[in-house]
Amino acid sequence: MKPNLPQIKNLSIREQTLVTLREAILTGELKPGHSLIEMDLSRQLGVSRAPIREALRILNTEGLIETIPYHGTTVRRLTRTDIEEIYSMRSLLETFAVEQVIRARNPDHLRRLRDTVEDMILAGRDNNINTVNILDRDFHDALIEMSGHSLLISMWQTVAMKARQVMALVNRRNTDLTQIARNHLPLLDAMEGGDIPRASELLRAHIASAGDLVAEDWQSDSAAVGDGS
């Protein structure tokens, strides 16, 4: 009956520019301090400055770039304090979310989370670091989504973006991937048991340890770039 044709979506140039630039920043392709000149972007992307400017205003509001009037736009630099703040905020938001999810007592939710963790452990065995990272992100994103709190989700996206950027910039030390994955299991157990205080504490510790690890080998200049051209 329904041929199930792929949805045709004609994203505006502004939106395409936004996604492109944001992704480049979050993956570390565009490093902190890199200067973004509208005219250059215009030539590179083959579009006029108008949509680019609008995309830049959005990125600026999201806190990923900084603009000095009549002077230039650069990818925002990250200090160690920024990183600590990002992780403490993550902790706050996720702890809140986990509380909501536990109260909802939805078996589907827990099953979905457990599936994700199991996949993560498997990917860890294969030493597939990329998949582990993606599944880890999925897990935490899912946790927030399940709260059903749209404002929380929106604020989470902002923080999660910044966290992604930080992750891409640090040179990860080789940690035991299966261990990272397994760390999620006690949290799931606590959630299934409906033990909010314990789940909160486990999550807090989980994120704090991740944050400490990142903050530890953060040299402010490690990923910074002088000129950017």
Partner DNA sequence: ATCTCTGCGATTGTCTACAATCTACAGACG
Partner DNA sequence: CGTCTGTAGATTGTAGACAATCGCAGAGAT
5 is an interface residue for DNA by CB under 7 A: no
Q: For tokens 């996206």, name the residue.
A: 157
**Residue 130 binds DNA, judged by CB under 7 A:** no
Query: How many angstroms from the chain centroid is the CA of residue 190?
Result: 25
Looking at beta carbons only, is 59 or 135 nearer to its own copies?
Answer: 59
User: 148 to each of 104, 144, 162, how far by Cα in Å?
Assistant: 10, 8, 22
Contact flags string 18-47 toward DNA, x per CB under 7 A: -----------------xxxxx-------x
Binding segment for its own copies (CB under 8 A), chosen from 34-42, 46-54, 133-141, 213-221, is 46-54
Q: Which residue from 62, 138, 189, 192 is in contact with its own copies, where contact means CB under 8 A?
A: 62
Residue 214: what are its φ and ψ, rounded to 5°? -70, -45
C-alpha distance from residue 76 to each of 67, 84, 116, 172 (Å): 9, 16, 33, 21
When asked if residue 146 is in the footprint of its own copies (CB under 8 A), the reply is no
- How many angstroms separate the CA atoms of 142 and 227, rounded? 39
* Secondary structure letter of residue 6 according to DSSP: P
141 binds, among its own copies, DNA, none (CB under 5 to 8 A by kind): none
Measured from the Cβ of residue 24, the count of other Cβ atoms closer than 10 Å reads 15
157 binds its own copies (CB under 8 A): no
Segment interacting with its own copies, rule: CB under 8 A, options 62-70, 188-196, 207-215, 221-229: 62-70
How many CB atoms are located within 10 Å of the residue 15 CB? Answer: 15
Instruction: Give the footprint of its own copies on this chain (CB under 8 A).
Output: 12, 14, 50, 53-54, 57-58, 60-63, 69, 81-82, 85-86, 88-89, 92-93, 96, 149-152, 154-155, 158-159, 162
